[in-house]
């Protein structure tokens, strides 16, 4: 008998990455911390949980660079990982150069 899994493999490798960021939710903004990042998303902690399914904009400092990138993301889950409460954010709209920098960082 075959069993199907509801888990989808990750498209991108992820890596631990500690960086402050700003989350924009329409006209509201607040500080957050990125704990893990990949070319397709990030795990972010914040004093405010944003509802699953909501779109947010993140201003992210790219690893190994002085550049920052503005990325549209979608909150896909809430989780507690390694004692941190946070949100999984899937990147919806990201510049190719920023995504390539993140992919290179996680290799």
pLDDT above 70: percentage of residues in the chain: 87
Contacts of 34 (CB under 8 A, 6+ apart): 17, 18, 19, 20, 21, 42, 43, 44, 60
**Closest by Cα among 106, 93, 104, 95 to 34:** 106
The pLDDT of residue 83 is: 67
With 50 as the cut, is the pLDDT of residue 4 above it?
A: no
Say how many C-beta atoms besides its own lie within 10 A of residue 66's C-beta. Answer: 6
41 Cβ partners below 8 Å, 6+ apart?
Answer: 12, 14, 73, 76, 88, 89, 90, 91
Locate the DSSP E strands across the chain.
14-25, 28-38, 41-46, 55-61, 68-81, 84-93
The model's pLDDT over 11-45, given as tens digits with 9 standing for 90+, comes to 788 899 999 999 999 889 999 999 999 999 999 99
């Amino acid at each position: 008998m075959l069993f199907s899994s509801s888990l989808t493999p990750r498209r991108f490798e992820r890596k631990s990455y500690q960086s402050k960021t700003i989350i924009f939710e329409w006209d509201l903004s607040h500080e957050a911390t990125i704990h893990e990042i990949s070319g397709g998303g990030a795990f972010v902690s914040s004093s405010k949980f944003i509802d699953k399914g909501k779109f947010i904009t993140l201003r992210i400092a790219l690893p190994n660079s002085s550049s920052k990138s503005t990325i549209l993301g979608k909150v896909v889950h809430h989780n507690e990982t390694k004692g941190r409460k946070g949100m999984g954010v899937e990147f919806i709209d990201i510049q190719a150069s920023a995504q390539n920098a993140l992919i290179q960082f996680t290799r």
